[in-house]
Structure 1
Amino acid sequence: MTLMRSIVSLFMLLRKSQLTIWRSAMPTPVKITACDNELYILATQGLGSSELIHVKSGFNNPVTDQFVLESILPKGTWQITMIGINWGGPWNFKVKIGTGPTYGTSSNAGTVGVVWSQTLPPITI
């Protein structure tokens, strides 16, 4: 009977610890809803950087790209940088990371080249 209680106690302890880990690991989705013309999203930390996504679109066509940071990056603290490039004519960029605000910009100016860049405060995943 003592062995059985020990096994049940161990099982309950393992189950509780897995539940705690599951609850604390909230995914951080990244949703891109506008890209006219070209968008890079990079993750950077002291040891280097990683390109998370590179999207090209134009003529204000709809874009619906999304991914989860934890699916791509190893655990750690990262800074996310978004870079918008325009090829001429109007531009439009919209990116939402996690539950925060939507980042981006739009304009009818015909500027060519990098028209928008933004680096967010560090995110720990």
Structure 2
Amino acid sequence: MANTIHITASDNQVILTAYVWGNSYQIADIKSGNSNPVNVTINLKQGQYTGPLSLDGVDTPLSGTYNVYLAPGQYTLVGTGINWGGPQSFAVSLNGAALKTQYSNPEEGVVWASVPTKLQQ
């Protein structure tokens, strides 16, 4: 399993989930806002699930490269964006390709959802 997720915008919260038939695993919970820059890379690696990467950049910029481990399997990745109010922005890529938007809404609450995308095995 060699997959790289790159997050460059999360206003206000991006939740990434990988799922297989019968179970799901939270990959990341990235919070940001107040015009703080986001430049976070997540390497998905094969191994025992290590739990989600949780970062809070509401009051500070976010950057860095992190590893999250998943047991072997045929996973699908989906992203959800939550806006707490005011401007919103979401930018997530998987292996260099932007996640396509399945749903977007200019209001508050769940305002962005990506098209489910298969992870490489």
- Common fold by TM > 0.5: yes
Q: Show the counterpart of 2:115.
A: 119
Question: Contact between 1:43 and 1:49, CA under 8 Å: does it hold in 2?
Answer: yes
| Separation (CA, whole Å) in 1 of partners of 2:115 and 2:93 | 13
Name 2:89's counterpart in structure 1: 92
Q: Deviations over 1:33-58 (max 9, x none)?
A: 11000110000011200000001110
Q: Deviations over 1:87-112 (max 9, x none)?
A: 1111001111113x22367x9x4x11
Unaligned runs of 5+ in 2: 46-67
Please tell me the root mean square deviation across aligned C-alpha atoms, in Å.
2.0
Looking at secondary structure, tell me which structure has more helix per residue: 1
Q: Structure 1: which 5+ runs fail to align? A: 1-24
Query: Residue 57 of structure 1: which of 17, 32, 35 is its match?
Result: 32
Asked if structure 1 preserves the Cα contact closer than 8 Å seen for 2:3 and 2:120, the reply is: no
Task: Report which of the two structures shows the higher radius of gyration computed on alpha carbons.
Answer: 1
Deviations 1:19-44 (A, max 9, x none): xxxxxx6x211111110001100000
Whichever structure has more strand as a proportion of its residues is 2
Equivalent pairs: percent with the same residue?
Answer: 32
Cα pair 1:43 1:52 within 8 Å, conserved: yes
Map of 1:66 onto structure 2: 41
Aligned residues: 96
Residue from 30, 49, 59 that aligns with 2:5: 30
What is the alpha-carbon distance in structure 2 between the residues aligned to residue 104 and residue 56 of structure 1?
Answer: 20
Q: Which structure carries more relative contact order (alpha carbon 8 Å, separation 6+)?
A: 2
Is 1:79 matched up with 2:76? yes
TM-score w.r.t. length of structure 2: 0.70
